[in-house]
Amino acid sequence: MPVIRDISLNLDMERVLRCQGLGKQAKLKPQNIVLLNELLASVNHLLQPAIAYALYSIAEIQHNQLHLENRTILHGSLLPSLLTSARELAVALCTIGPRLEEKVADYFDRNEPLRGLMLDGIGSAAVDALAQEACQFIEREAAPRGYKVSIPLNPGMSGWPIRNQWALFQLVPAQQIGMHLTSRAVMVPRKSISMVIGMGPELPTRAQEPVCARCHLKETCSYRVYSES
């Protein structure tokens, strides 16, 4: 069960604005662009990116259940409908750690909400970049065996209830990267993400379009096959 640290994240203005639902820099006031660049330049000491992941053989796929080799069952219709050709399932947890969200809270406590909001947006962009790094690690695991990979799928997506978070946190050493769940299955640190990725030689790439359309990474993911008309 690999744990990966010392990850370099590509955080630029375009990614940050995209993760905040904004377009070009022209939509921001010049002084806000200056502030955002200042925060970007000083954010590295707040980031502690880490990825923990594990690979499991898929034992059986039913209509609303996906069974893994260790008898774990993931419930919901999404995985069985999209991963019918998958042979293995990669389970990954990613976090940038608690420092950034603590600094965001500090800005709000000091009555600097604009800095807090902008830094929170940078944190979202960092998690997005980290998720893509995780996808690339898993793709490198799959390639030597001639396997293709699906896009990342996250608990809480339509057809995959959030309660499946509990199973994912049993499949991967979450505590080794400082992650845990609240009683409502909310991840801590907050700037974290969980995902699974199907692996197999015959995954139908184009069949992934419907899920790309509802994936929270659809605007930035380099693996997307969905585009809005």
Say if residue 142's pLDDT is above 80.
Answer: yes
Give 204's contacts (C-beta < 8 A, 6+ positions apart): 85
Confidence of residue 15 (pLDDT cuts 50, 70, 90): confident
pLDDT of res. 173: 93
pTM exceeds 0.75: yes
Average pLDDT, the chain: 87
- Give the number of residues written for the chain: 229
Confidence of residue 221 (pLDDT cuts 50, 70, 90): low
Q: 3-state DSSP: the chain helix, strand, coil percent, rounded to 5?
A: 45, 20, 40
CA dist 175 and 172 (Å) reads: 9
The pLDDT tens digits of the residues spanning 73-109 come to 999 999 999 999 999 999 999 999 999 999 999 999 9
Q: Please state which of the ranges 19-23, 37-41, 191-195, 197-201 shows the lowest mean pLDDT.
A: 19-23
The pLDDT tens digits of the residues spanning 165-182 come to 999 999 999 999 999 999
CA dist 225 and 82 (Å) reads: 14
Instruction: Output phi, psi for 86, to 5 deg.
Output: -75, 145
Say if residue 224's pLDDT is above 60.
Answer: no
| Complete DSSP assignment for 126-175 | HHHHHHHHHHHHHHHHHGGGT-EE---B-TTSTTS-GGGHHHHHHHTTGG
The pLDDT tens digits of the residues spanning 16-61 come to 887 776 665 557 788 888 999 999 999 999 999 999 999 999 999 9
Share of the chain above pLDDT 90, in %: 75
Confidence of residue 13 (pLDDT cuts 50, 70, 90): confident
